[in-house]
Structure 1
């Protein structure tokens, strides 16, 4: 049982951070140098601080020592942006950092690479607290890429609430096919299926130009998530006719949609006939409880 006469006491963490910041990128007592980015920007560091705070730095220095290399040759980090590396060092030295919308995703990436879980958490919180229609696509892609599931859920909620506005952003056309497929899997998108198809078509058109691939090749995975049976037969006929020229939709998907409209058979286990939050009432969807209002 511990003595009541002893306890750990801490001073002001802000004062500590300010005082430690004097060592940040300082040559005084420094014993390590980094050459960072295409700009070859020089950063100075202190092995005792970096190795104590970050296991990746510790392993880096230990490897050098194991090879018997006692030189002061700099470490070359050509694939890291200097501003991002500076933020990493700032956090290592002071346990705080300055983030911005322009750098936070890259800072999160390097925090994961260097095993700095606290910095990752700070980045996730910053992204979560600054989510908007304009940046939610980039945030979703980052969340999925770096396996931040709670952040991905938060991003999807923003997209679900503002679906058509998100479709119009530049970030939407820059989504990867995996991220777009993740979004299209939601039952809660606030858009009718025809509008969702138009957005995917625009996404595929832009990415076809960028990649040089056909629209069909670009959207071969994402198009599977369009719920064609939810599209009104009149609109579906137009899509079917257009697809004869552009051939970006597999015939089987349109065929199954026509089969649904002809038979009105619903398979509850298939998402294709599951209405979304934004699916508009239509006479053709009466069997799904979404008949047109009179």
Structure 2
């Protein structure tokens, strides 16, 4: 098939056993656009006399409009009275679209929805079979049943056309998988990958495992690892299943303080008690957590955090609390069921955009003016902070306001102090949480430094830098009022996770 078009033929919304999930389906039919016999040999129509052309044209237009309305409104009795309704639509695509959800020529019906709330939906076996191998087997396979009505009690109808959005995409993916429509499933996965964030990464991780989408699973892990604390504190984290919870708590590369991990686990346990209709006592929280509690690396907390947090949370037994205290303080440490090795987390990468640095007398002072540069990447990364130049006149302290913007809209900012030792090395300043950066979009990195000493500055700047598998591009920013640009200045490094 050299040329083709996709047509939306039928839409369903399906219910599933997964919690809080609506499911819908959009079947896509691949039809050829090459010329058909009906277009080569159209139905013969009478040509009106020339004298009556004007009135006939007006009458014909009104009639066609009326006939189109009948077809679109599923008025089959009126449509049958139209001997050549096909002539009302010039292309095969339009004629096929008229059949969508239309009783005309329907040879199967779906009774959709639970008892007491059903809806009868017309369908066309050939169209459905071409769009889905499941329907092909149902209607034309060896075990096909010649049923005019098919009951689907576990789904509910979805009336309007589907526009992929966060509220419908998981449901659409579920149905695309169920009815084996790979093109639609791929579109759903692409949508999910581009809309991934710390807020939904945990839920999508759970769903990606259910739908067996390894690429999506990997993208979810990238977000969860880099923005672990945001992901753990998200509402979506409380909605995941036990297996996904254990996978996250077991994760070696999780970039999070262990106290945040414990708080997230307790929040999940509270939600799980609600789902199981259990009272939210600390005993029940420990019950629903089960062995997952031992995946929290409590002994790696600072002693103060343990004493003021985990030890008083009630989730640990008295024996566990006592043993962990001994593990902190005693020379002869007891054996623990908890892992005592800190998580490795993610190693930050640095994109250095200058080939050399320098300092000159009376140059690169800071009087509260902005140093700024724009950058773009070719794959998703997470900016954790900037590397900045420090004093060229010995040790000094600076106050820095760092900011990251997309199209003029602030995404993250932080005011922080850093100490430089007088060397030409860069000094890292960090955002509170890593910031997700999407590919092929320019972002603005800015810093306002306040200090009395002159600093080093970069020279021989590069417009493009390759860092591992990520390519960074740089361009000048109109926000820069202190001299920083592509060729020289401040913000020599972008610190990121990828």
Q: TM-score when scaled to structure 1?
A: 0.72
Aligned-pair CA distance for 1:27? 1.8
Matches within 5 A, 1:1-294: 9-10=2-3, 18-19=93-94, 20-38=96-114, 39-62=117-140, 69=146, 72=148, 74-83=149-158, 98-213=163-278, 214-239=284-309, 241-242=311-312, 246-248=314-316, 251=319, 255=323, 258-259=326-327, 262=330, 272-277=340-345
Aligned-pair CA distance for 1:134? 2.6
Q: Which runs of 5+ in 2 are unaligned?
A: 8-31, 34-91, 279-283, 348-498
Contact 2:311 2:321 in 1 (8 A): no
Q: Which runs of 5+ in 1 are unaligned?
A: 1-7, 88-96, 280-294
For residues 88-114 of structure 1, what are the alpha-carbon distances to aligned partners after superposition, in whole Å with 9 as ceiling and x for unaligned?
Answer: xxxxxxxxx632211111111122222
Counterpart Cα distance in 1 of 2:254 and 2:307: 24
Counterpart Cα distance in 1 of 2:276 and 2:262: 20
Secondary structure of 1:220's counterpart equals helix
Contact 2:296 2:339 in 1 (8 A): no
For residues 176-207 of structure 1, what are the alpha-carbon distances to aligned partners after superposition, in whole Å with 9 as ceiling and x for unaligned?
Answer: 11112122222232221111111111221232
Contact 1:111 1:119 in 2 (8 A): yes
Counterpart Cα distance in 2 of 1:158 and 1:248: 30
Counterpart Cα distance in 2 of 1:65 and 1:196: 52
Distance change in 2, residues 1:61/1:242 (3 Å): same
Counterpart Cα distance in 2 of 1:200 and 1:112: 31
Aligned residues: 253
Secondary structure of 1:275's counterpart equals coil
Counterpart Cα distance in 2 of 1:138 and 1:202: 15
Aligned-pair CA distance for 1:262? 4.1
Aligned-pair CA distance for 1:219? 0.7
Secondary structure of 1:35's counterpart equals strand
Counterpart Cα distance in 2 of 1:167 and 1:240: 17
Relative to its length, the structure with more helix (as a share) is 1
Counterpart Cα distance in 2 of 1:141 and 1:172: 10
Counterpart Cα distance in 2 of 1:121 and 1:256: 48
Aligned-pair CA distance for 1:63? 6.9
Contact 2:225 2:346 in 1 (8 A): no
Q: TM-score when scaled to structure 2?
A: 0.45
Counterpart Cα distance in 1 of 2:201 and 2:306: 30
Task: State the partner residue of 2:488.
Answer: none
Secondary structure of 1:101's counterpart equals coil
Q: CA RMSD in A?
A: 3.4
Counterpart Cα distance in 1 of 2:285 and 2:166: 32
Counterpart Cα distance in 1 of 2:155 and 2:214: 25
Aligned-pair CA distance for 1:82? 1.7
Relative to its length, the structure with more strand (as a share) is 2
Please say which of residues 203-212 and 74-83 is displaced more in the overlay.
203-212
Counterpart Cα distance in 2 of 1:261 and 1:278: 29
Contact 1:163 1:189 in 2 (8 A): yes
Counterpart Cα distance in 2 of 1:42 and 1:34: 6
